[in-house]
Amino acid sequence: MPDQVDTVQPSVISIVEKAVPVRPRGLNFLSIWLRDLVISLAISAFVVIFLYQPVKVEGPSMMPSLDDQERIFVNKFVYRLEAIQRGDIVVFQYPRDPSKSFIKRIIGVGGDRIRISNGQTYVNDKPIREDYVPSSFMDEQSYREVTVPQNSYFVMGDHRNVSKDSRFFGPVKSSLIYGKAVFGYWPMEKMGRLR
């Protein structure tokens, strides 16, 4: 008996392609653009809320370091990693009205004894050098000695003649300080790291 071989007769199969809807090219571009926009906004919100915040300086109290209407970035995270130090320019809630923000320079930290004699500032009985205060901006008045409480800071503006600072409202509690001024970005000629 001969071997049986199963055979299949080829049949003609007609292939009918189904029409697949093709998205218009513009719609695809728009969805990618919207996705990128949402991601960019989320990253920007994270940076502004937790890291850096743009701030506009209002008033002349920090001149010449910072001019009225100058735009700067404030680092809101840095003081979680390092201590506030003398010389830092900080942004804080005004102790008498926390809805307002002030920007000043740290002169004394908790435990420091601060006094001013004829415009010369002394920290722990040592005169401090303040190159950031031009002689024309010096205030020739004196201020009685105070000891800065722990977890508080004595702050002053660089334009001593016009600055309302710790000489008027006292030391600022650390809980009111929310950032360090680190970088100026407008006007362009003042762009750079703040000191």
Range 141-168 average pLDDT: 96
CATH number of the domain encompassing residue 69:
2.10.109.10
**Catalytic site residue from 18, 40, 44, 61:** 61
* pLDDT tens digits along 16-34: 555 555 555 667 878 888 8
Q: Are 141 and 45 in contact (CB under 8 A)?
A: no
- Structural domain range at position 128: 53-193
* pLDDT tens digits along 81-111: 999 999 999 999 999 999 999 999 999 999 9
Asked whether the predicted pLDDT for residue 1 surpasses 90, the reply is: no
**77 located within any domain:** yes
174 is catalytic: no
**23 located within any domain:** no
**37 located within any domain:** no
Asked whether the predicted pLDDT for residue 194 surpasses 70, the reply is: yes
**119 located within any domain:** yes
Range 43-55 average pLDDT: 75
**174 located within any domain:** yes
Q: How many folded domains does the chain comprise?
A: 1
Task: Tell me the one-letter amino acid at 33.
Answer: W
Complete edge-to-edge strand list for the sheet that includes strand 120-123: 126-127, 120-123, 113-117, 143-147
- How far is the first Cα of the chain from the last one, in angstroms, to the nearest whole number? 104
**Catalytic site residue from 104, 152, 163, 180:** 104
Range 113-136 average pLDDT: 95
**120 located within any domain:** yes
**10 located within any domain:** no
What pLDDT does 40 receive?
A: 83
**160 located within any domain:** yes
Task: Report how far residue 41's alpha carbon sits from residue 15's, in angstroms, rounded to the nearest whole number.
Answer: 48
What pLDDT does 32 receive?
A: 85
135 is catalytic: no
Which of the pair, 44 or 88, is modelled with greater confidence? 88
What pLDDT does 65 receive?
A: 95
Which of the pair, 5 or 88, is modelled with greater confidence? 88
DSSP conformational letter for 49: I
Which of the pair, 26 or 155, is modelled with greater confidence? 155
